[in-house]
Structure 1
Amino acid sequence: MRKSYGIGEARLLRRMRRGRLLLVVAAALTVAAALFVVMRPPGSGVGAPADGDMSRGGMLAGGTEDTRWGRLSASDRTLLVKVRQAGLWEMPAGQQAQQRAASPRVKEVAAMIAEQHARLDEDTRAVAQRLEVILPSEPSQQQKGWLAEMTDRYGNSFDDTFVLRLRAAHGAVFSVIATVRAKTENSEIRAFAERAMKYVNTHMSLLESTGLVSKSALS
């Protein structure tokens, strides 16, 4: 037998149903917003309009965006992404060195590089937040491969691989930083490039101080 409700009970039931419906809608919107952020490519500004959309006076042709610090280019965003990814694999590599390296100097250099990358990573994230650049949360596939390679090595073999991979990677990112520093129109990126360059120079010198840098790492 179907239960009957009074007027007050009926109104309460309607409010409860509306409340559940609102919760479902809110949850769906939250999931959609999260997927939107995750699916956006690295380097996209949070809330930035599409290329050519001048409704905010921001994004210009070619992926360049006006900011209060000057125009922000695709190359400027790439610099932040690459420096971020450098830290995401070199910090774990430095930790691996403490257990796997044979040379005390390699362990010392690895610890210094990992600690300095932690400071540089904090700087990178702060600049990216100001410029509304989305950064990656994991290393590139190539960098993951380097970490996997080191995981299989111990002793002198680890030392050689660690120094080879990190010295070659620093040489590559050095070129990116130098190019962006020479061409950027954004004062935040210009200052960041100068700070990042100091770290990279220091790290290359530290790696070279191990005596294990080969010609292949310099090519």
Structure 2
Amino acid sequence: MNHARDARVPPTMHRLLRGEVLMLGGFVLAAAVTIALVMPPSIDPASAQWTQTSSGPLTAADRDLLIKVRQAGLWEMPVGQYAETRAESQRVKEVGQLIMKDHMKLDLITRQVAAKLGVALPDEPNPDQQRWMAQLASESGPAFDKDFANLLRAAHGKVFTVVAGVRAGTRNSEVRKFAQEGVNYVMRHMALLESTGLVDHSELPEAPTPSPAPPVALAGEKRRQA
């Protein structure tokens, strides 16, 4: 039945049908080429997170460390200055000055390392830090002393985990040296803030619960297993 119908189709019609099929195939090929040119190539997420430098691979965590240390200085330097005129406690005044001077040194190091590694740094604190600055700028006396000690101590505890984590795992020698400096500064500042006697340790976040330790076999069981 099909052969009979095909026989009745004029030869010119066959040629037209074949031309339409070839034209359709050309359109499909052209569309595929266009999509390939317009769509961006697929990027491996892992490789997109790091770049190679003369001091080793620079990861997203390395860049984040430089940014966070820079932002820490951008709010702790002015707040340390606030302590000179707003604090009632002489120890808070002293600690404010020491932290401000330390962050001036650390900020210079941060900018030098960032420039060497090609990391863009922010020029203002993050929104939380700006809020803390505004809070302390509106206080004086005992209220300032208490909030100064506790806000800065809590902030140092958070950044300490970032610095220590990068120090433990970075593959970049410049970042490794920088993180070591950062660990020393942060530990010193936590001790200074605690020396005011105003830090409420019950308000600090607890350390994460450790994973359960594997059971330890007793000496007699070890001998039997052997």
CA contact (8 A) 1:60 1:66 kept: no
TM-score by length of 2: 0.70
Q: How does 1:108-147 map to 2 (within 5 A)?
A: 108-147=94-133
Give the aligned partner of residue 90 of structure 1. Answer: 76
> What does the per-residue CA deviation read over 1:56-85, in whole Å, with 9 as the maximum and x for residues that have no partner?
xxx972320001101000000000000000
Give the aligned partner of residue 26 of structure 1. Answer: none
1:115 counterpart letter in structure 2: K
2:63 counterpart letter in structure 1: R
Q: How does 1:57-206 map to 2 (within 5 A)?
A: 61-206=47-192
Structure 2 SS opposite 1:174: helix
Q: How many Å separate the matches in 2 of 1:213 and 1:75?
A: 30
> For the aligned residues, what is the CA RMSD?
1.9
Whether 1:210 aligns to 2:196 is yes
Q: How many Å separate the matches in 2 of 1:143 and 1:189?
A: 24
Give the aligned partner of residue 38 of structure 2. Answer: none
Unaligned runs of 5+ in 1: 1-50, 54-58
Q: How many Å separate the matches in 2 of 1:60 and 1:68?
A: 20
Q: How does 1:14-25 map to 2 (within 5 A)?
A: none
Deviates more, 1:177-186 or 1:85-94: 177-186
Alpha-carbon offset, residue 52 of structure 1 = 5.0
Deviates more, 1:208-217 or 1:126-135: 208-217
Q: How many Å separate the matches in 1 of 2:95 and 2:129?
A: 19
Q: How many residues are treated as equivalent by the alignment?
A: 165
Q: How many Å separate the matches in 1 of 2:151 and 2:202?
A: 10
Alpha-carbon offset, residue 216 of structure 1 = 4.6
1:195 counterpart letter in structure 2: E
Q: How many Å separate the matches in 2 of 1:93 and 1:195?
A: 22
**Runs of 4+ that moved beyond 6 A:** none
Mark the CA change 1:144 to 1:123 in structure 2 (over 3 Å): closer, same or farther: same
2:124 counterpart letter in structure 1: E
1:101 counterpart letter in structure 2: A
Q: How many Å separate the matches in 2 of 1:134 and 1:203?
A: 26
Q: How many Å separate the matches in 2 of 1:116 and 1:95?
A: 12
